[in-house]
């Protein structure tokens, strides 16, 4: 079970958080202009990265705020934590 | 356990003398005798005994029978690795199966039972047969033999399970209490032997917060097994000094009888602490959840059994365990002993047993053992047979003797000449197996060390921080253990960035005289036969799973030569002992068979948990009412006082109905529903989810979240809407009320408020942080009493100052004022389809409001109603419940809401409604159903088919989502999701009931009552 550093509450157990998938999936600005395939890409397709992965987490049993992790999915190592309004750090393997 | 026959042949007198107890010595307290029972017979031991040592002291050898062959089994070890004997403790609510007697401290009145094959005790005919005819029971036998015909497998399985020996299943609720404890420390030290003690003290002196956990009742590891000699006393004194100083350090906590069973990511470890030995009131166990910055693994090593014919007979024990029983418990397991070894350490057992008066012969596999201990043994007059092996064990229920042969041809065979040696105990030693399970779980890699003959820690983990020290690291001398422990403890304290102290000092010198120089061991996978043939008898590798050398050889021949395959095919290492003593021997046999080194095979995964953990410990205190939060509305006391029948709806406890005396629930529901249609009913709707959305961009935000626009909604007006997820699936529905230009109140499903709030927050925080909006859940701030029915206005008028004139307070609007003198928001929303007023007051006034309405309602025949009548009323109107009438596939279009205009504003989920599959007209759509028999109520989940006599496989048209008997309509009604249902109105299809066969039903629009919706405008 991971220890995750919430940007607002510092280090807490993973049980306080919930995982919300890959981060930085941009919602199309004008969805009705998208083809079914383009819309399907946005809805369903994710990168399934082995290695550094940017992902969204929610401090559900805490401050109830969303933030992002850069986490190495192969090792479980958390490489960076950043707020939604911060630029994503470079993805280097950990 | 009534009716269990004792398994002993001899009938000892009550409180039999402890025939195997030495006259003096040991760590037991002879002034405190303890009475206990095993298998219906009374015995006596002493404080300080374990159940195993007390049984051995009383000469009890046979503790159970093995699960596959029903072979007699006894105690093999003195510790947690026990593979031979599992017993059942207690009975009734205190029954605990599969307990290792080596880990149970003896207590007054303890009661234990042998675990036997079900054929019974004494002469076990089934087991006897299984044993004799075991060549017909190869690995995979059941699957090979009973696989055909397939439909009979359940029958075979029942038969076979009955024949397999196993523990009794507790039939009563566990009466023990369990607790959970969360711990945080700089350094967790696992294992309290010399390495662990040194590590804990080094870290503790450096100022780190330290937790030291040891499985045993006493700290010191192998040192407390030392004999009562000057060196042994020095060893115990050293342990006492170390423990004394640890106890004096405020930041060091020592936990005895605590097994660390799992090492998870980020140094999160699970341990089970044995608290009481018994029943309530103290917790029997605590489950510890430990987050440690650094972990020192000083988990030690277990002795490796030797593999030879009939090595499972009661009396064949590990040599180190014999030593433990001798020195710690003053028990001599047998007066004549054969020590069978491949290394020097077992000579200590020989020396000490001989010193205590036993007749000892050493059989050593090595052709020319010449180490210091060997020389001492010879000097003490102990017979040593080098280059020999035990090739047979005499005796069935207890060892009576052994057959010895000379090893030939570099250990590839044994000679033809055999000699017999009488003995009552075989003390065997095949070397030592470092306990590397936790290191492996931490992510560390293992490597095989041929000189140790076992796997040792290799590359350290990258994610977690674990440091092996001492015997688990393959370092077996005392001085090495202490040195490694010190180094690991200091490094861990430094890594943990704890305070800097005097950690550089060596705490205490190791005791002298216990590190005799040893010669290397000689490893044989198993004792071979006289070339070319095998020896008679079974050579067991795994006692718990009844896996023999022959089984492994056969499995390899059949293609299961990979370690993970072998494990699953033979069940090797799958017993409660997790293969602690057997996995390595299995690998050795397999490696020999395949002609490769053990290191080339790899090893099976050491999964958590290392030992069986009780469900009670995992559940801890989270039982019954503490399992999950229970929410009650402010009106709950009135409901209780007035005979409500309650139901759980999510976390809420709500009245299901309010039966009058003598009334059934069904009668009550019909009466309540009738009142709400013809007079006036009262519903506690406080559970309705309520979220306030406030801010300059609130209208814009809600416009993006709901299918129906919120723009243009006047202050004080309400609007229904559905919320979708991005896939276009209905996520929640409810009514939005505009409280002020920038202030809205959302209602959600009773169980959905938290989910909806999270959903709103997710979009606000991650997608549209530019919107200036705040969301607040106010569900529990407001109580809601809803008056429903034609008389609702007349009743409400008695208790409110709000103008109820329908022209000025129309349907779908909200007014503020007082009700029964309480500040209130009153909403004209009609979930029943009839005239209704939802009266919201601050939660603290909820009960007062309810009681006032009940009083005022006396002359109106006011009828409180529960959730069932509520559902019936809404079903009559075809109003859906999200999650009951919808699932994860249903869109608003499926529910008949119409396709939104493509060119209009965007909202979450809108685009998905236009995907090709979402527009198909054969999607499941919400419809009503009328049964041919008007009294027949269709259960939820009933499937619908096109034909009354279908041939499997049957395509389903859809299924019933809601079914009731409606008093207002005078017949059974149902809602259903039916493929292309709206295009099939008037058609008759077949409902397939689980019990009762096909029944014709007609598809109708999903509204059975007041289809034009006039009543709610009254």
As a whole number, mean pLDDT of residues B301-310 equals 96
- Say how many domains are in chain B: 5
CB of A37 within 8 Å of any CB in chain B?
no
Residue B843: pLDDT band (50, 70, 90) is very high
As a whole number, mean pLDDT of residues B61-66 equals 88
The string of pLDDT tens digits covering residues B957-1016 is: 999 999 999 999 999 999 999 999 999 999 999 998 877 789 999 999 999 999 888 888
- Determine the Cα–Cα distance for residues B236 and B243; give it in Å rounded to an integer: 10
Residue B549: count other Cβ atoms within 10 Å of its Cβ: 26
Chain A residues whose beta carbon lies within 8 Å of the beta carbon of residue B912: 39, 43
Residue B156: pLDDT band (50, 70, 90) is low
pLDDT at B807 over 90: yes
The answer to whether residue B573 is domain-embedded is: no
> For residues B683-712, b (16+ Cβ closer than 10 Å) or e, as one string?
bbbbbbbbbbbbbebbbbbbbbbbbbbbee
The answer to whether residue B861 is domain-embedded is: yes
**Which of B183, B262, B266 should one mutate to test binding to chain A, selecting the residue with the greatest count of A CBs within 10 A?**
B266
Q: Is A6 helix (H, G, I), strand (E, B) or coil?
A: strand
pLDDT of residue B509: 61
CB atoms B916 and A36 under 8 Å? yes
Residue B171: pLDDT band (50, 70, 90) is confident
| Residue B304 near residue B454, CB atoms below 8 Å | yes
The string of pLDDT tens digits covering residues B271-300 is: 999 986 554 467 789 999 999 999 999 999
The answer to whether residue B773 is domain-embedded is: yes
The string of pLDDT tens digits covering residues B349-367 is: 999 999 999 999 999 999 9
Nearest to A32 among B266, B762, B906 (CB): B906
Chain A residues whose beta carbon lies within 8 Å of the beta carbon of residue B444: none
Residue where one domain finishes, among candidates B169, B189, B208: B169
Residues B373, B473: one domain? Answer: no
Chain A residues whose beta carbon lies within 8 Å of the beta carbon of residue B915: 36, 39-40
Looking at domain A3-82, its CATH superfamily turns out to be Folate-binding superfamily (3.30.2270.10)
| Residue B543 near residue B66, CB atoms below 8 Å | yes
- Determine the Cα–Cα distance for residues B318 and B391; give it in Å rounded to an integer: 17
Residues B277, B317: one domain? Answer: no
CB atoms A31 and B911 under 8 Å? yes
DSSP letters for B399-466: --EEEEEEEEGGGTEEEEEEEEEE-SEEEEE--EEE--HHHHHTTPPEEEETTTTEEEE-SPPSSS-E
pLDDT at B161 over 60: no
Residue where one domain finishes, among candidates B812, B839, B873: B873
The values of phi and psi at residue B647, to 5°, are -140, 155
DSSP letters for B727-752: TS-EEEEEEEEEEETTEEEEEE-TTT
- d(CA A39, nearest CA chain B) in Å: 8
As a whole number, mean pLDDT of residues B457-473 equals 95
Burial classification of residue B292, based on how many CB atoms lie within 10 Å of its CB (0-12 exposed, 13-18 middle, 19 or more buried): buried
pLDDT at B4 over 80: no
CATH code of B309's domain: 3.50.50.60
Chain B residues whose beta carbon lies within 8 Å of the beta carbon of residue A36: 915-916
pLDDT at A60 over 50: yes
CB atoms A76 and B916 under 8 Å? no
CATH code of B792's domain: 3.30.1360.120
pLDDT at B151 over 90: no
The string of pLDDT tens digits covering residues B878-910 is: 999 999 999 999 999 999 998 898 888 999 999
CB atoms A36 and B915 under 8 Å? yes
Nearest to B268 among A1, A20, A31 (CB): A1
Residues B960, B923: one domain? Answer: yes
Q: Which residue has the tokens 């200091």?
A: B490
Residue where one domain finishes, among candidates B813, B845, B873: B873
Q: Is the dihedral of CA B1006, B1010, B1012, B1018 positive or negative?
A: negative
H helices of B517-626, in order, are: 549-557, 563-570, 583-594, 615-619
The string of pLDDT tens digits covering residues B914-937 is: 999 999 999 999 999 999 999 999
The answer to whether residue B846 is domain-embedded is: yes
Chain A residues whose beta carbon lies within 8 Å of the beta carbon of residue B906: 30-32
pLDDT of residue B119: 39
CA closest to B461 among chain A residues: A75
- Determine the Cα–Cα distance for residues B872 and B857; give it in Å rounded to an integer: 23
pLDDT of residue B97: 85
Tell me the pLDDT of chain B averaged across its residues. 90
As a whole number, mean pLDDT of residues B382-394 equals 96
Tokens of B733: 């529905």
Residues B69, B144: one domain? Answer: yes
Q: Judging by DSSP bridges, how do beta strands B336-341 and B425-429 pair with one another?
A: parallel
Q: Which residues have a Cβ under 8 Å from the Cβ of B11 and sit 6 or more positions away?
A: none
CB atoms A56 and B766 under 8 Å? yes
Residues B457, B390: one domain? Answer: no
- Determine the Cα–Cα distance for residues B906 and B407; give it in Å rounded to an integer: 86
Residues B313, B412: one domain? Answer: yes
Residue B231: pLDDT band (50, 70, 90) is confident
Length of chain A: 94
CB atoms A84 and B911 under 8 Å? no
Nearest to B264 among A1, A77, A84 (CB): A1
As a whole number, mean pLDDT of residues B111-115 equals 89
Residues B882, B929: one domain? Answer: yes
The string of pLDDT tens digits covering residues B629-687 is: 899 999 999 999 999 999 998 889 999 999 999 999 999 999 999 999 999 999 999 99
CB atoms B910 and A31 under 8 Å? yes
Task: Please report, for residues B534, B766, B876, B939, B977, the alpha-carbon distance to residue B962 in angstroms, rounded to integers and kept in the order given.
Answer: 70, 37, 10, 8, 10
pLDDT of residue B10: 43
pLDDT of residue B155: 66
As a whole number, mean pLDDT of residues B16-39 equals 91
The string of pLDDT tens digits covering residues B470-520 is: 999 999 988 899 999 999 999 999 865 544 444 455 556 666 555 667 888
The residue among B96 and B939 whose pLDDT is bigger is: B939
CB atoms A66 and B726 under 8 Å? no
The answer to whether residue B85 is domain-embedded is: yes
As a whole number, mean pLDDT of residues B146-171 equals 64
Residues B752, B713: one domain? Answer: yes
The string of pLDDT tens digits covering residues B401-425 is: 999 999 987 788 898 888 999 999 9
- Determine the Cα–Cα distance for residues A52 and B814; give it in Å rounded to an integer: 52
The string of pLDDT tens digits covering residues B325-344 is: 999 999 999 999 999 999 99
The string of pLDDT tens digits covering residues B689-714 is: 999 999 999 999 999 999 999 899 99
Q: Judging by DSSP bridges, how do beta strands B72-73 and B64-65 pair with one another?
A: antiparallel
Residue B896 domain boundaries: 877-1017
How many CA atoms are closer than 13 Å to the CA of B251, on its beta-carbon side? 20
- d(CA B766, nearest CA chain A) in Å: 6
Closest Cα to residue B699, out of B684, B689, B714, B685?
B714
The string of pLDDT tens digits covering residues B792-805 is: 999 999 999 999 99
């Amino acid at each position: 079970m991971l220890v995750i550093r919430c940007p607002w509450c510092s280090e807490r157990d993973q049980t306080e958080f919930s995982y919300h998938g890959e981060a930085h999936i941009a919602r199309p600005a004008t969805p009705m202009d998208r083809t079914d395939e383009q819309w399907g890409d946005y809805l369903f397709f994710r990168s399934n990265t082995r290695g550094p992965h940017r992902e969204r987490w929610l401090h559900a049993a805490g401050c109830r705020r969303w933030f992002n992790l850069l986490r190495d999915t192969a090792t479980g190592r958390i490489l960076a934590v950043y707020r939604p309004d911060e630029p994503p750090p470079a993805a280097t393997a950990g | 356990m009534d009716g269990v026959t004792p398994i002993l042949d001899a009938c000892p007198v009550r409180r039999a003398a402890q025939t195997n107890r030495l006259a003096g010595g040991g760590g037991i307290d002879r002034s405190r005798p303890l009475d206990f029972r095993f298998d219906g017979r009374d015995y006596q031991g002493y404080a300080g005994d374990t159940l195993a040592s007390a049984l051995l002291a009383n000469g009890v050898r046979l503790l159970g029978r093995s699960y596959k062959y029903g072979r007699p089994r006894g105690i093999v070890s003195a510790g947690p690795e026990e593979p031979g004997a599992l017993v059942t403790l207690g009975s009734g609510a205190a029954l605990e199966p599969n307990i290792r007697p080596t880990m149970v401290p003896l207590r007054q009145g303890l009661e234990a039972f042998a675990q036997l094959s079900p054929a019974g005790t004494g002469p076990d005919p089934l087991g006897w047969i299984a044993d004799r005819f075991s060549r017909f029971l190869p690995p995979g036998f059941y699957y090979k033999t009973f696989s055909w015909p397939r439909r009979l497998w359940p029958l075979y399985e029942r038969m076979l399970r009955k024949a397999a020996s196993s523990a009794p299943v507790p039939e009563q609720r566990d009466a023990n209490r369990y607790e959970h404890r969360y711990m945080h420390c700089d350094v967790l030290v696992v294992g309290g032997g010399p390495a662990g003690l040194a590590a804990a003290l080094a870290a503790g002196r450096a100022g780190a917060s330290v937790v030291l956990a040891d499985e045993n009742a006493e700290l010191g590891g192998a040192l407390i097994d030392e004999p009562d000699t000057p060196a042994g006393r020095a060893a115990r004194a050293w342990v006492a000094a170390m423990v004394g100083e640890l106890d004096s350090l405020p930041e060091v906590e020592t936990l005895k009888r605590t097994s660390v069973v799992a090492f998870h990511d980020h140094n999160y470890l699970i341990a089970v602490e044995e608290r009481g030995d018994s029943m309530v009131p103290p917790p029997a166990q605590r489950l510890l959840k430990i987050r440690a910055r650094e972990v020192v693994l000083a988990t030690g090593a277990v002795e490796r059994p030797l593999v030879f014919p009939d090595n499972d007979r009661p009396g064949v024990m590990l040599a180190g365990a014999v030593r433990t029983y001798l020195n710690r418990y003053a028990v001599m397991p047998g007066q004549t002993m054969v020590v069978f070894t491949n290394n020097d350490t077992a000579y200590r057992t020989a020396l000490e047993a001989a010193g205590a008066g036993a007749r000892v012969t050493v059989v050593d596999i090595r052709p020319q053992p010449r180490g210091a201990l060997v020389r001492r043994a010879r000097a003490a007059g102990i017979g040593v047979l080098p280059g020999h092996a035990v090739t047979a064990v005499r005796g069935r229920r207890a060892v009576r003797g052994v057959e010895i042969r000379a090893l030939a041809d570099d250990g590839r065979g044994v000679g033809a000449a055999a000699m017999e040696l009488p003995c009552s105990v075989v003390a065997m030693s095949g070397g030592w197996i470092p306990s590397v399970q936790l290191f492996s779980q931490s992510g560390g890699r293992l490597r095989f060390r041929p000189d140790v003959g076992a796997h040792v820690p290799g590359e350290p983990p990258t994610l977690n921080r674990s440091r092996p020290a001492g015997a688990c690291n393959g370092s077996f001398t005392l001085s090495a253990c202490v040195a490694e422990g010190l180094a690991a403890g200091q490094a861990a304290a430094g890594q943990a960035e704890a305070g800097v102290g005097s950690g550089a000092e060596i705490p205490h010198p190791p005791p002298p005289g216990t590190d005799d120089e040893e010669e290397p061991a000689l490893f044989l996978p198993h004792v071979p036969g006289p070339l070319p043939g095998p020896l008679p008898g079974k050579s067991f590798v795994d006692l718990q799973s009844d896996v023999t050398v022959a089984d492994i050889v056969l499995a390899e021949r059949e293609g299961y030569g990979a370690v993970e395959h072998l494990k699953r095919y033979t069940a090797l290492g799958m017993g409660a002992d997790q293969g602690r003593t057997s996995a390595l021997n299995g690998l050795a046999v397999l490696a020999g068979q395949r002609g490769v080194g053990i290191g080339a095979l790899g090893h099976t995964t050491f999964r958590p948990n290392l030992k069986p953990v009780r469900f009670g410990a995992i559940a801890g205190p989270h039982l019954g009412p503490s399992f999950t939060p229970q929410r009650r509305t402010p009106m709950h006391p009135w409901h209780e006082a007035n005979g409500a029948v309650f139901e759980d709806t999510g976390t809420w406890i709500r009245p299901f109905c309010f039966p009058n005396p003598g009334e059934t629930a069904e009668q009550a529901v019909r009466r309540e529903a009738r009142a709400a249609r013809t007079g006036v009913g009262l519903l506690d709707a406080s559970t309705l989810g309520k979220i306030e959305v406030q801010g300059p961009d609130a209208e814009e935000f809600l416009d993006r979240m709901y299918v129906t626009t919120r723009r243009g909604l006047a202050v004080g007006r309400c609007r229904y809407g559905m919320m979708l997820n991005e896939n276009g699936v209905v996520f929640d529905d409810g009514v939005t009320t505009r409280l002020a230009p920038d202030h809205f109140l959302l209602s959600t499903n009773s169980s959905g408020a938290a989910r909806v709030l999270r959903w709103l927050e997710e979009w606000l925080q991650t997608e549209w942080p530019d919107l200036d909006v705040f969301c607040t859940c106010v569900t529990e701030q407001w109580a809601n009493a809803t008056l429903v029915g034609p008389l609702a206005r007349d009743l409400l008028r008695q208790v409110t100052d709000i103008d109820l004139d329908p022209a000025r307070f129309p349907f779908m609007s909200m007014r503020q004022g007082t009700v029964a003198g309480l500040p209130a928001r009153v909403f004209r929303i009609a979930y029943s389809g009839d005239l209704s007023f939802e009266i919201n007051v601050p939660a603290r006034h909820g009960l007062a409001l309810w009681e006032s309405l009940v009083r005022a309602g006396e002359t109106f025949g006011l009828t409180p109603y529960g959730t069932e009548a509520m559902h019936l009323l809404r079903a009559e109107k075809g109003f859906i419940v999200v999650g009951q009438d919808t699932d994860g596939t249903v869109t608003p279009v499926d529910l008949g809401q119409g396709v939104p205009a493509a060119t209009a504003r965007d909202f979450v989920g809108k685009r998905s409604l236009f995907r090709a599959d979402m527009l198909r007209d054969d999607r499941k759509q919400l419809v009503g159903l009328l049964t041919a028999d008007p009294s027949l109520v269709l259960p939820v989940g009933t499937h619908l088919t096109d034909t009354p006599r279908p041939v499997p496989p049957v395509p389903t048209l859809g299924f019933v989502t809601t079914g009731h008997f409606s008093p207002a309509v005078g017949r059974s009604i149902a809602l259903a999701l039916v493929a292309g249902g709206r295009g099939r109105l008037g058609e008759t299809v077949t409902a397939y009931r689980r019990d009762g066969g096909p029944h014709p039903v007609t598809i109708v629009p999903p509204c059975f009552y007041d289809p034009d919706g006039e009543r709610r405008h009254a």
